[in-house]
């Protein structure tokens, strides 16, 4: 059934600190060890860059003036929801997401990360090496995250 549904237009953000470690947050809405990078939908009339900066602030409390955009993925990346989530997430209207990913450099201090936002998505956060990221991510997004790491391999020095 879900294969007939469209992909939700979205963005993703790989946020790097000064040590080239990646921000990952542990999702609040699951008991699983589900970590992910910030991501979210593109609002109607919004461009991807604006959506990425908005989502970053909404999910991490990091203000746009505390980041610089290093790179944008050359292509959209996709993931499908597992069947058990497809009918529940986003009102059952989408099969997954088509994401435009951005690599951002964090210019602030750890104290500038405030996940206790108006609508929190994460219960914990940490900096992870790019090599650790795939082990932390929920299994259905691992292939997507491998593509993200490949997309930004040059900037990550891989």
Contacts of 89 (CB under 8 A, 6+ apart): 81
User: Would you say residue 149 has pLDDT above 80?
Assistant: yes
Q: Where are the domains of the chain?
A: 2-156
Residue 144 bridge partners (DSSP) = none
Residue 58 has which token pair?
């909404």
**63: nearest Cα among 129, 107, 27, 98:** 107
Contact 134, 44 (CB under 8 A): no
Torsion of CA 117, 20, 77, 30, to 10 degrees: -40
Q: What is the pLDDT of residues 77-106, one digit of tens each?
A: 999 998 888 777 888 899 999 999 999 999
Structure letter (DSSP) for residue 110: G
Statement: 2-156 belongs to CATH 3.90.79.10: yes
Q: What is the pLDDT of residues 110-130, one digit of tens each?
A: 999 999 999 999 999 999 999
Q: Is 16 exposed, middle or buried (0-12, 13-18, 19+ CB in 10 A)?
A: buried
Residue 105 has which token pair?
């450099």
């Amino acid at each position: 059934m879900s294969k007939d549904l469209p992909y939700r237009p979205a963005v993703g953000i790989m946020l790097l600190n000064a040590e080239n470690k990646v921000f990952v947050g542990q999702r609040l809405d699951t008991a699983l060890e589900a970590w992910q990078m910030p991501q979210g939908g593109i609002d109607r009339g919004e461009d991807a860059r604006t959506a990425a900066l908005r989502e970053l602030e909404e999910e991490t409390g990091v203000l746009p003036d505390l980041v610089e955009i290093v790179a944008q993925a050359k292509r959209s990346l996709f993931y499908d929801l597992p069947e058990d989530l497809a009918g529940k997430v986003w009102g059952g209207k989408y099969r997954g997401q088509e994401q435009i990913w951005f690599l951002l450099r964090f210019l602030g201090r750890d104290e500038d990360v405030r996940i206790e936002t108006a609508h929190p998505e994460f219960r914990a956060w940490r900096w992870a090496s790019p090599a650790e990221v795939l082990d932390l991510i929920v299994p259905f997004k691992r292939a997507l995250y491998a593509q993200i790491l490949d997309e930004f391999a040059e900037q990550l020095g891989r």
